[in-house]
Structure 1
Amino acid sequence: MTTAATRSSDRRISPVFLGIAAVMAVSGWAVWTDFSANPGVAVFLFVTAAWIVSLCLHEYAHARTALHSGDISIGGKGYLTLNPLKYTHALLSIVLPVLFVIMGGIGLPGGAVFIERNRIQGRWKHSLISAAGPLTNVLFALACTAPFWLHALDGVPATFVYALGFLALLQITAAILNFLPVPGLDGYGVIEPWLSYKIRRQVEPFGQFGLLAVFAVLFIPSVNAGFFDLVDTVLSGLGIPSDTNITAWGQNLYRFWTDQSPFCQP
């Protein structure tokens, strides 16, 4: 018997996602070939499109893991098509993360796929569903930094190197923030199944404010500096030392209309 979750139409990649991926590919080609008269415009389009692609893959990872864990309703909700317009809160999953990148060069975690948790048995499965999204950002970061830690940058145009470095920074910031054990973020979703029912009920009302709290705390100078020190440490481990200023150059190219950023401290 064919269920809603196994219909081919539920798994067919959305034209919306394919369009975004096409923008990423074309703008990436423009960055590589220096086709645009203003390289910042090409970098902006490439990084923004790639960032949206990574957000779609983040949500897809949540949904796919939930499907294989027992929530067969996932397919009928359109989450397996990679269409960002199918998310429960497109504003939280796509619009706000993109705005934060434009404003300050930080990979704000989104997240809005509705999973029917009552269909899923086993705490490990619940934890894995929550972890699947930020782990996708980790894999994306590894892909972006592969030319650096593989020492394969010969022949790669400098502008493309800067764009990759900045995109890697976004993925790392998103992964770190999303893994924080803060209600409303995936990190809390990882540990939530292991908490007592009493604690979960006490914490539940604060879930909707978790992201806002993280946003507010990042404005504290000492926290902001410590956070980006951690990001720089991870980037250095992946072959992009902070003293090369690769991510700073990438951010400056991306934000071609201004050199100022309220978040990043290059």
Structure 2
Amino acid sequence: MFGFDPDMVFRIPALLIALTVHEYAHARAAVSLGDPTPRYAGRLTLNPIPHLDPIGLIMLWLFRFGWAKPVPINPFNLRNGRWGIMTVSLAGPGANIVMAFVSAVVFGVVAKLNLGNIEIYKVIQWTYTYNLILAVFNLIPVPPLDGSQIVSSFLPPRQADAYERIAPYGPFILMALVYLGVVGAFIYPVEAFIGRIISAIVALIV
């Protein structure tokens, strides 16, 4: 899905919404659990600019798989130790799923009441799509994605240290997995499954 198409003007705000919601949720969870690091780093904000990672943005734009700049945290400040790390890691994907659900509800209401036009529909649709993709993609256990932190929190300290040493190579590993189709084979079924659940719930309330 190579990115420069007529829908670009609709995809830009949707993409920024998805990335900002994701990173803000990480920052908010960390601060709520006792770590002020995201606040000091300027990441406790709904301004998308501090959250953008150039490589991750290009990947998401061109291939529908990407990431934002990881929110810095100090795990020693977090309450509940490893459970705190896991909570912070899950906050981003969780927020994206909630945002996808909200987008689906808004789309249903706007369509039912015939309040929008094609431009509004497209922005809402892309907001739904990017949030769902970002949520599922970030659960892949390869750094710098959230799934790697979730896996690491379950490992013994020595194994966790060894696992985290692949972090500098993570983006290249992800690019290779995308190119080989491994990521798509994981993403699309999970995305479709979550999408069906969201659609079923929305159908009950709209």
Superposition TM-score tier, normalisation by shorter sequence:
0.7 to 0.9
Instruction: Specify the alignment match of 1:102 in structure 2.
Output: 61
Displacement, 1:147? 4.2
**How far apart are the structure 2 equivalents of 1:194 and 1:223?**
23
- 174, 184, 195: which one aligns with 1:214: 174
Q: 1:142 aligns with which of 101, 109, 133?
A: 101
- Provide the C-alpha distance between the structure 1 equivalents of 2:185 and 2:88, rounded to a whole number of angstroms: 31
SS across alignment from 1:82: coil
Q: 1:221 to 1:77 in 2, by over 3 A?
A: closer
Label 1:44 to 1:197 Cα distance change in 2 as closer, same or farther (>3 A): same
Match of 1:4 in 2: none
Q: Which runs of 5+ in 1 are unaligned?
A: 1-38, 241-266
Go from structure 1 to structure 2 and tell me whether the alpha carbon gap of 1:228 and 1:79 turns closer, same or farther (over 3 Å shift): same
For the residue of structure 1 that corresponds to 2:176, the secondary structure is helix
Measure, in 1, the Cα distance between the counterparts of 2:103 and 2:123: 9
* Equivalent-residue separation in structure 1 for 2:62 and 2:94 (angstroms): 25
* Number of residue equivalences: 193
Structure 2 residue runs of 5 or longer lacking an equivalent are 201-206
Shift of 1:138: 0.9
Change (3 A) 1:114 1:195: same
**Corresponding residue for 1:235?**
195
Q: Does residue 67 of the first structure (1) align with residue 26 of the second (2)?
A: no
* Cα RMSD for the two superposed structures: 2.8
The aligned counterpart of 2:165 is 205
Contact 2:144–2:170 at 8 Å: present in 1 too?
yes
**Partner AA of 2:40 in structure 1:** G
In the alignment, what sits opposite 2:11?
Answer: 47
Q: 1:115 is matched with which residue?
A: 73
Change (3 A) 1:223 1:44: closer
What SS is found at the alignment partner of 2:111? coil
| Structure 1 counterpart of 2:44, from 61, 64, 80 | 80
Q: Equivalents in 2 of 1:81, 1:159: separation in Å?
A: 27
Structure showing greater Rg: 1
When the two structures are superposed, what TM-score results if normalisation uses the length of structure 1?
Answer: 0.62
